[in-house]
Amino acid sequence: MTAKLNALPYEWLEEIINLAAEWIVVVDVNGIICYINQAYCEFLGTTIEEAVGKPVGNVIENSRMHVVVRTGQAEVASIQSIKGSEMVANRYPLYVQGELVGAVGTVMFRNAQDWLEYSQKVQPLVEELKYYKTRFERELRGKYRFSDLIGQSPRFLEAKHLAERVSGSQSAVLLLGESGTGKELFAHAIHNNSVRSPFPFVRVNCASIPEHLLESELFGYEEGAFTGAKRGGKKGKFELAHRGTLFLDEVGDMPLPMQSKLLRALQEKEIERIGGHAPVLVDVRIIAATHRNLEQMVEEGRFRQDLYYRLNVMKIEIPPLRERKADIGPISRVLLEKLGRKFNRHGIMLAGDVVQQLQQHNWPGNIRELENVLERAVNVLEGPVIGLHHLPLYLQDDMAVAHREHRPPVSCTQKNPALLPLKDAVAAAEREAIMLALQFAQGNKVQAARLLGIGKTSLYDKCKLYGID
């Protein structure tokens, strides 16, 4: 190597140095400049003759070369302000035959133009990276809070209050409920209300990930663990959720072999990446959810009993919508606000009779079904009021029957059934409020009257008028 460099004429060497690092300075072990190139001197407003032999701090503003010769530590890409410009400087200790003899400093960007050209290339990449980083971080945060869980019916409130209480503990939580009842919302809310909220909330859908991928999804893998494994390996959801919450959604759909691996991870509190050699300690709180009957699955040998006990430390059962019909009105209103934001259509309301009629339906798909029905209605809506005819036919059928029972057709509703004479609209609203209060008070008329802020006799009269039993 040295022999080859010796073969180069001295002028070449100097030119090569100038090309490799446009600005360069070399100091000895005392921080005295022994070499500096012409371009650097021009920028500094000095000459090579003047600069060489002087302490570097006297020639270059904010220099840290004298520090590097003391510490022997390189300083890479450090920002250095020289003559009002922010420069990017690299400083390396110079070792010759194992001995620290000085330091070499280079400046990566000589002028604002250089920097600008570079930053114009790099800046979009940095922005893009920032965008994905915040998006990724946002994804990893719990999105919903308890205040987003709408409902006042007693069984729902019981579940919500239990969830609020357990959010403070570190125990595993098992959320049970039919499809669309809000299990995922509960999981988010529990995480957000816990001391783990500053850390990630990571969801794994055990039903949608193919069996052979679930293990690498949960535990990650090392580079070269299998063909197609990414360079540098990949973190699993357990590691991503470190210090936060791991939400095992649809846990009832997890294949038996994976159940054993999951159980081991929960017991040992450590995981092993596929192809890894050392276990990784993980601190996660588990929230699991399923719409399946796990107890029955345990009996049938389709779900490991020991895993069931591990997950079922705190069980929360979320009631289906048909068992809390009084919540349909308030939930619909919140969902409509959400849809209003999504479609930029604000102030959409339900006609008085619609809520009443929605309460007739059984809602096998629960709140998700209600959400879909309302979204469809918003899409076919001309004005701000959702009427019966905006609902899907299967709901209209249920309702047509109930509608005829309660109110004879009114002529002006023929053109647009959502539009009712004010008297009828007020009556429908009154009826709905009374029904809601009665359901909330579980049929107790004295309590319902108190909730409505009217006298008991007045409530009896109105019940008779509207045919409420």
User: Which residues lie near Mg ion (CB under 5 A)?
Assistant: 184
CB atoms within 10 A of CB 316: 22
DSSP characters for 254-299? S-HHHHHHHHHHHHHTEE--BT-SS-EE---EEEEEESS-HHHHHH
Using the minimum distance from each CB to ligand ATP, give the nearer residue, 60 or 173. Answer: 173
Using the minimum distance from each CB to Mg ion, give the nearer residue, 22 or 184. Answer: 184
How does strand 99-107 pair with strand 85-96? Answer: antiparallel
244: partner contacted, choices Mg ion, ligand ATP, none (Cβ within 5-8 A by kind): none
252: partner contacted, choices ligand ATP, Mg ion, none (Cβ within 5-8 A by kind): none
Round to whole Å and give the CA distance between 325 and 151: 10
- Interacting residues of 431 by C-beta distance below 8 A, sequence separation 6+: 352, 356, 406, 466, 468
Using the minimum distance from each CB to ligand ATP, give the nearer residue, 142 or 151. Answer: 151
Using the minimum distance from each CB to ligand ATP, give the nearer residue, 281 or 334. Answer: 334
Shortest distance in whole angstroms from residue 205 CB to Mg ion: 8
Shortest distance in whole angstroms from residue 335 CB to Mg ion: 16
Tokens of 85: 């410009």
Shortest distance in whole angstroms from residue 117 CB to Mg ion: 50
- Interacting residues of 395 by C-beta distance below 8 A, sequence separation 6+: 357, 358, 361, 373
206: partner contacted, choices ligand ATP, Mg ion, none (Cβ within 5-8 A by kind): none
Using the minimum distance from each CB to ligand ATP, give the nearer residue, 215 or 371. Answer: 371
Residue whose pair of structure tokens reads 């690092």 in the numeric block: 21
* Enclosing H/E stretch for 124: helix 112-139
Taking CB atoms, the residue at the shortest distance from Mg ion is 184
User: Which residues lie near ligand ATP (CB under 6 A)?
Assistant: 149-151, 177, 179-185, 291, 331, 334, 367-368, 371
Single-letter amino acid, residue 148: D
180: partner contacted, choices ligand ATP, Mg ion, none (Cβ within 5-8 A by kind): ligand ATP
Using the minimum distance from each CB to ligand ATP, give the nearer residue, 148 or 424. Answer: 148
75: partner contacted, choices Mg ion, ligand ATP, none (Cβ within 5-8 A by kind): none
SS3 247: strand
End-to-end CA gap in the chain: 101
Using the minimum distance from each CB to ligand ATP, give the nearer residue, 265 or 336. Answer: 336
46: partner contacted, choices Mg ion, ligand ATP, none (Cβ within 5-8 A by kind): none
CB atoms within 10 A of CB 341: 10
Shortest distance in whole angstroms from residue 309 CB to Mg ion: 23
Query: Which phi and psi angles does 31 have, rounded to 5°?
Result: 80, 20
149: partner contacted, choices Mg ion, ligand ATP, none (Cβ within 5-8 A by kind): ligand ATP
How does strand 99-107 pair with strand 349-350? Answer: unpaired
Using the minimum distance from each CB to Mg ion, give the nearer residue, 184 or 272. Answer: 184
Tokens of 238: 């357990």
Q: For 374, what's the count of Cα atoms within 13 Å in the CB-facing half-sphere?
A: 31
Q: Which of 365, 392, 440 is nearest to 182 (CA)?
A: 365
Shortest distance in whole angstroms from residue 378 CB to ligand ATP: 15
Taking CB atoms, the residue at the shortest distance from ligand ATP is 182
Shortest distance in whole angstroms from residue 149 CB to ligand ATP: 4
185: partner contacted, choices ligand ATP, Mg ion, none (Cβ within 5-8 A by kind): ligand ATP
Shortest distance in whole angstroms from residue 184 CB to ligand ATP: 3
